[in-house]
Structure 1
Amino acid sequence: MDLKITKLYSFGLMLLTLFGSAQAFSSGAMELKTTEVDFFNQQVNRPVKIKFWYQSGSESCEATICLSPKQSSHRVAIISHGAFGSPREMNWLGYALASQGWVVAGVAHFGESWVYGSENIDPSSAMRFWQRPQDISFAIDSLSEEKLFNTSLKTDKVIMLGHSSGGFTSLAMAGANLEAGKSEVYCATEMAKDDKGCDYGQHRKRKPMSDEMVKKIGLLAEQMRDDRVAAVIALDPALGHAVSENSLESIKVPALVLGSVENDFLPYTAHSKYYADHIQGANLVGIEQGAGHFVYIDECDSDREVKGVSLCKDREGVDRNAIQKKILEHVFGFIYRNGFS
């Protein structure tokens, strides 16, 4: 396995006081850091860049990442970004989890994420849905790489989080599978006219899949699940219109689904609510106050739009920072209620 550090940033304990839980670490001789490390999955000939958020000790070590001496070995969380996004847009979530003692790994999906360079962005990669779970399973494997950390981590019970396509990825790791032909039927209906999810892969214009492709998709779907994922947190998850009810009903791990009710990208009923309705015992939180689909990424200052929806500019009156703080309350409440403290 090839391993290379690409960037390192250091921050103070800006988020440690967000949640006054008994599990929070002492601020003595420790700070929050983030480091990006390049790996290569030789099995599928695919690079995997991982952004880590963690608590660092004051002393140096011989490992690539020096964790705090107080680091718990079993607090491991994985984040999957949205389509054509990046873990670099998920600092609000990564640092918050790290402040509570979690080692967080944000996986950049090659072909989609801009962190690999614009020349490596492939629009068709959004339809190769099975590659994302492959990246996640490889990332979990990589956490045991020799000399990556100065402390051995237990990866048999990780928490999986994701936004948009990353939300689907998180749920796929727990058993969610696509149903062949379902998205084409949905995207041809009037109710899907404002669903931006149908624009990916040109669902509205695509011909029905062949029997051979349907069979291939079924085999790939079976390979997406990873039993090391012990809980799932999906933020405004995509592909609800394409996922089978039976696969969702088979999910047994605790699941928290958060979605924007007044959605400007993925209709709440067809995606977030659909997932939660069919996962036994799932917690559903509807985010109101005018929040849109991109309120789940870092605050930013750009004119960029995705499918005609602004990435950085929220609707009038929407306070992205305040909404993210409320989301974190739900996230940590879910984590502690389910015994992952």
Structure 2
Amino acid sequence: MNWLGYALASQGWLVAGVAHYGESWVYGPETIDSKAASQFWNRPQDVSFTIDSLAKSQLFNIQLKTDRVLILGHSSGGFTALATLGAKLEAGKSEAYCASRKAHQDKGCLYSMQNQRKPMSQELVTKIGQLQDQMQDDRIIAAIALDPALGHATSRQSLQGISAPTLVIGSVNNDFLPYIEHAKYFASHIQNAQLIGIEQGAGHFIYIDQCDLALEANGVPICKDRHGVDRKVLQKQILNNIFSFIYKNNLS
């Protein structure tokens, strides 16, 4: 997501990218695990660890301040951003939704199916419940979620408890995560959240850098957009939305 990181850095932000083990290629292709996308409880811990590490670091001999963090994330990272503000999953909600007719085009349910091939032990279920209570990080003062995942599994009550400035941007004619069940659902239940729907044929992966690789996620091309879609043009539009949100909420 260099298009976003460079744009923020050009305006004076210190930008840190979190590479989650099991999902990021920086650790080597042999470490990629499709089930990692469903292990949502690990990502907020990674984010908090990153902030802890930055708090101990210096840039040009200046101690970094990490008490006012803006978090941005795409897809599962979008849920991670919201989880650091207090979003939590609700037991059984994902299973019920994914068994219903309205989920037949929701690619997010495929990750749940992969994760359920081996039943979770009671010990793991208990541990996940405990980790959910530790996902929130008070140093994060605002969140931007780009086409966030796991709307179908997230507790409405937990979202209603979020009061920090929140921007949710989603692709309306989505090819991966239905807009109504994910992006719109999150924004509808977070206090004063701002929702922006991206039209013009935008798919789920227009939020990452342009690329030429023949990669797919659950059958959806990551680098190839629908006919007539200009990813760079849409990203400029999204940047305008992001900076407008930042200045409107005095986050800069």
- TM-score for the superposition, normalised by structure 1: 0.71
Structure 1 counterpart of 2:243: 332
Q: In 1, distance between residues paired with 2:57 and 2:169?
A: 36
The offset of 1:111, in angstroms, is: 1.3
Residue of 140, 150, 156 corresponding to 1:229: 140
Residue of 143, 163, 174 corresponding to 1:263: 174
Structure 2 counterpart of 1:301: 212
CA distances 1:280-322 after superposition (whole Å, capped 9, x unpaired): 1000000000000000000111221111111111111111000
Equivalent residue of 1:327, what SS? helix
Q: In 2, distance between residues paired with 1:190 and 1:95?
A: 41
Higher relative helix content: 2
Q: In 2, distance between residues paired with 1:208 and 1:178?
A: 18
CA distances 1:78-99 after superposition (whole Å, capped 9, x unpaired): xxxxxxxxxxxx0000000001
Equivalent residue of 1:256, what SS? strand
Equivalent residues in 2 for 1:300-319, closer than 5 Å: 300-319=211-230
Unaligned runs of 5+ in 1: 1-89
Structure 1 counterpart of 2:64: 153
Could you say if the C-alpha distance between residues 214 and 146 of structure 1 is closer, same or farther in structure 2, counting changes exceeding 3 Å?
A: closer
| Residues 214 and 223, structure 2, Cα contact 8 Å, conserved in 1 | yes
Structure 2 counterpart of 1:323: 234
Structure 1 counterpart of 2:193: 282
| Residues 58 and 64, structure 2, Cα contact 8 Å, conserved in 1 | no
Q: In 1, distance between residues paired with 2:123 and 2:86?
A: 22
| Residues 57 and 64, structure 2, Cα contact 8 Å, conserved in 1 | no
Equivalent residues in 2 for 1:149-298, closer than 5 Å: 149-202=60-113, 213-298=124-209
Structure 1 counterpart of 2:11: 100
Equivalent residue of 2:16, what SS? strand
Unaligned runs of 5+ in 2: none
| Residues 255 and 282, structure 1, Cα contact 8 Å, conserved in 2 | yes
Q: In 2, distance between residues paired with 1:205 and 1:120?
A: 20
Structure 1 counterpart of 2:37: 126
Instruction: Kindly provide the amino acid, as one letter, of the partner of residue 231 in structure 1.
Output: A
Equivalent residue of 1:108, what SS? coil
The offset of 1:149, in angstroms, is: 4.9
- TM-score for the superposition, normalised by structure 2: 0.95
Instruction: Kindly provide the amino acid, as one letter, of the partner of residue 50 in structure 2.
Output: A
| Residues 35 and 115, structure 2, Cα contact 8 Å, conserved in 1 | no
Q: In 2, distance between residues paired with 1:240 and 1:141?
A: 28
Could you say if the C-alpha distance between residues 212 and 182 of structure 1 is closer, same or farther in structure 2, counting changes exceeding 3 Å?
A: farther
Q: In 1, distance between residues paired with 2:216 and 2:243?
A: 31
The offset of 1:127, in angstroms, is: 2.4
Q: In 2, distance between residues paired with 1:336 and 1:206?
A: 46
Equivalent residue of 2:63, what SS? coil
Equivalent residues in 2 for 1:26-175, closer than 5 Å: 90-147=1-58, 149-175=60-86
Q: Over alpha carbons, which structure has the higher Rg?
A: 1
Moved more, 198-207 or 187-196: 198-207
Instruction: Kindly provide the amino acid, as one letter, of the partner of residue 288 in structure 1.
Output: E
The offset of 1:209, in angstroms, is: 6.3
